[in-house]
Structure 1
Amino acid sequence: MSLLQALAAVPDPRNRRGRRHSLQSILFLALSAVLAGARSYAAIADWAAVAEPEVRVCADPPHASTFRRLLSRLDPVALQAVLTGWVLSRRAAAATPATVAAGPLAEQRRVVAADGKTLRGARSPDGAQVKVFGVYDHAHCLVLTQSAVLDGDEIAAFTTALATLPDLREVIVTADALHCQREHATWLRKRGGHYLFTVKGNQPTLRRALAALPWAQAPGQRRRQRAHGRTESRSIKVIDLDGTPAAALFPHAARAIKVVRRRRDTRTGKTSTEVVYALTSLTYRQADPALLATWIQGHWGIENRVHHVRDVTQGEDASRIRTGTGPEVMAVLRNTALNLHRLEGHTNIASAQRRAGWRAGSAHASLTAA
């Protein structure tokens, strides 16, 4: 199915009378422009005005006010659902290799990261910052779905976002300490999914119980790497919780994990040490310590591979779009553009955006392909 065909399923909030451009053509142009680095309604309109005929999909390109009026009224949840479905169908057809060198077994597992993000430049009508909650594919760095965080309640957004995925059976969900919630663990296991949650001070009793486990007796694995002017070592130890007091403190907890990260700045010589505890519902037969270490590191990597790209390369933090649902809709378009660049095999998104702007016809062939 082509993108234009898929976009026909998005509800059009406009009155039927007076429509000059179809919803599909406006959304197609908006996504194409964001793919090339457009950050505002004016930039989208400028790009559409000079786009090549095969990309423009309409004889008379819309004005910036047309993009603003429509995108600020659009349902971001419906748009996200349509675009997520389309992107997943493209991923299945493309069979894109995983970008995380975790070995063939890790690539066979469906691992997603659940994480919230603040759109720093956007504001709701009451002046509060707009937050969204996304689900990200570990192996391919794709944004699978996104939901608005209502009334600042990111914890509630966890299940709202994950519920939009078609099937959670055998899916492994990684999340930070905010989402280490008993309700989340129970909700996931009822749907056949698994969890890998970080444990911090918001669960003090649980964290103390994990810290008291006999870690000195547990075998460990260590990884070292050097990059960006620092050396870093990570050690991981895993303990089976069966029969321990800690097992009763969290539903479906099978194993506890202790990660020690040591960093040394090669220029200043300064060192830092961080100890992180985590819980998982996965048994040893389902995931060995090396896989758990890969997935924990992969969750931390979402910040650099997705959030940083959206904030800096795509200009999400600097965006001042504030009217209606415009901030959430633009975030959905940025997510989809990032996904398309990843599916094309690009790792340098800034370069991919420049190329899309220079060669619109070839760069956007995937948007019109069936």
Structure 2
Amino acid sequence: MLASALLGMVAGSRSLREVEQLTAELTPALRTKLGIPRRVPDTTLRDALSSLEPDGLPFGVVSLDGKATSVPAADDFFAQRQTATAEARLLGLVRTVTATLTSSTARPVIDVVPIPASTNEMGMFQRCLSALMGTYGRSDLFRLVTYDAGACSRENARAVRDLGLHYLFAVKSTQPSLHTEAARWLGSLEPDQAAATSTDLDHGRSVVRRIYLGEALAAPEGWEHLRTVLRVEVETLDSKGVRVANDNRYFVSSLPRSRLTDAEWLLVVRRHWGVETAHQLLDGALAEDAHPWIEQNPRATVVVMVLRRIAYTLLALWRGVTLRSEQQRTRPWRELMHDIWLGAVQATAQFPCGSSSRDRRLPPAPA
């Protein structure tokens, strides 16, 4: 059942009905390879997903961020109750925290934790951190944990340091003392005082990012572990070089400034935003918000969200690591997903060899 769901996700299925249609069209070779002997009815798949607990699907970032999907149902655990003003009806807000290994260019999701209806991202941070350490603590997979302002607190910062890790938290007005001091210290610095700068082209516009760094010689009470304060300025220029947008964001970190070069500090912040890119792809290519598959059972909605992140990671690793050419690695996600769908309905036990005479038979399915 889970193989059918994952195949449907990476092949671009927008509903359980489309998954059923895909499993009906699989070639014999793919049925044997994937262990899907017959068509899987959408009702059977719905019942199977609804019977699973989200915690029963563990798959074990450096960067964490929350995401919410609205469904027309609510309960007291998996979907926070809310009222949609546009439709004036009760909706459930299904929320998760996604952990993404942003030090990898593929940005694989390495963990996802549902947020109970009774709490929020701030309250879930330490639980998410514990889950990550339980899975990856011995692997030395990451040493720096980044999060936006939604989890920035003295308690969460201390929890990171107590585990021997370092943190990078965004700071907003929810932490008034930190934000005020950071803005007072770094906010008046001019572009020629930036420690590092990068420029990118985005749809005909130039996006200039500048980072300003300061070593924290003194910190507010409870933040004795704070070592570096950062300001990242994002300036957008049109094709004529006229500024059309300017934004400043502030961060605090326990990592000493000397541990990274100026350019590496800017790269860390940019990679932190990679978890937001993952969420954009979940809503774009994988259509999570528009087509959650299951809406009336919030627990099953969470199960599908976990599976969708596994599917995203498989696609991300294939696109960013397995595909060798730069052209292939920049192909649109929907094209890659269409290729998977095409392979699922056309693949045979022996792939066409083209100009090569090497045998490319599918290996047997694992016992």
Q: TM-score range by the shorter chain?
A: 0.7 to 0.9
Question: d(CA) in 1 for partners of 2:220 and 2:136?
Answer: 27
Root-mean-square deviation (Å): 2.7
Structure 1 residue aligned with 2:334: 350
| SS, match of residue 260 in structure 2 | coil
Determine the structure 1 residue equivalent to 2:112: 146
Query: 2:287 pairs with 315, 318, 329, which one?
Result: 315
Amino acid corresponding to residue 222 of structure 1 in structure 2: T
In structure 1, the residue matched to 2:127 is 160
Question: Which residue in 2 is equivalent to 1:340?
Answer: 314
The one-letter code sitting in structure 2 at the alignment partner of 1:326 is: A
With over 3 angstroms needed to count, the CA separation of the structure-2 counterparts of 1:272 and 1:60, relative to structure 1, is closer
- 3-state DSSP class of the match of 1:155? helix
Indicate which of 150, 154, 172 corresponds to 1:178.
150
Offset from partner CA, 1:167-209 (integer Å, 9 cap, x none) = 3565211111111111111111111211111111111111111
- Give the conservation status (yes or no) of the 8 Å contact 2:73–2:298: no
**2:17 pairs with 1:42:** yes
What residue is the counterpart of 1:222 in the other structure?
197
One of 173, 178, 183 as aligned partner of 1:201: 173
Cα distance in 1 for partners of 2:183, 2:116 equals 34
1:368–1:356 distance in 2 versus 1, CA, 3 Å: farther
- The answer to whether the Cα contact below 8 Å between 2:166 and 2:255 also exists between their aligned partners in 1 is yes
Within 5 A, what are the aligned runs for 1:67-216?
67-79=45-57, 81=58, 84-85=59-60, 112-121=62-71, 123-125=73-75, 126=81, 127-138=91-102, 139=104, 140-151=106-117, 152-165=119-132, 166-168=135-137, 171-213=143-185, 216=189
Query: TM-score scaled by structure 2?
Result: 0.77
Matched to 1:124, the amino acid is A
Give unpaired runs (5+ residues) of structure 1: 1-25, 86-110
Deviation at 1:275, TM superposition (A): 1.6
Distance 2:318 2:363 in 1: 9
> Partner residue of 1:326?
300
Superposed CA offset, 1:2-26 (max 9, x none): xxxxxxxxxxxxxxxxxxxxxxxx1
Aligned to 1:260: 233
Pair 164,41 (structure 1): closer, same or farther in 2 beyond 3 Å: same
- Specify every segment of 5 or more residues in structure 2 that has no aligned partner in the other structure, as ranges: 76-80, 82-90, 320-328, 352-361
- 1:250 counterpart = 2:200: no
Cα separation, partners in 2 of 1:366 and 1:356, compared to 1, 3 Å: farther
| CA distance in structure 2 between the partners assigned to 1:366 and 1:182 by the alignment | 53
Residues 32, 212 of structure 1: CA spacing in aligned structure 2 closer, same or farther, 3 A cutoff? same
- Residues 122, 55 of structure 1: CA spacing in aligned structure 2 closer, same or farther, 3 A cutoff? farther
More helix by share: 1
Matches of 1:50 and 1:268, distance apart in 2: 53
Match of 1:27 in 2: 2
- Bigger Cα displacement from structure 2, 216-225 vs 233-242: 216-225
Residues matched between the structures, number: 313
Given that 1:122 and 1:319 are in contact with CA atoms closer than 8 Å, whether structure 2 keeps it comes out as: no
* TM-score of the pair, normalised by structure 1: 0.77
CA shift at 1:319, angstroms? Answer: 1.9
* Alpha-carbon offset, residue 366 of structure 1: 10
Q: What amino acid maps onto 2:113 in structure 1?
A: S
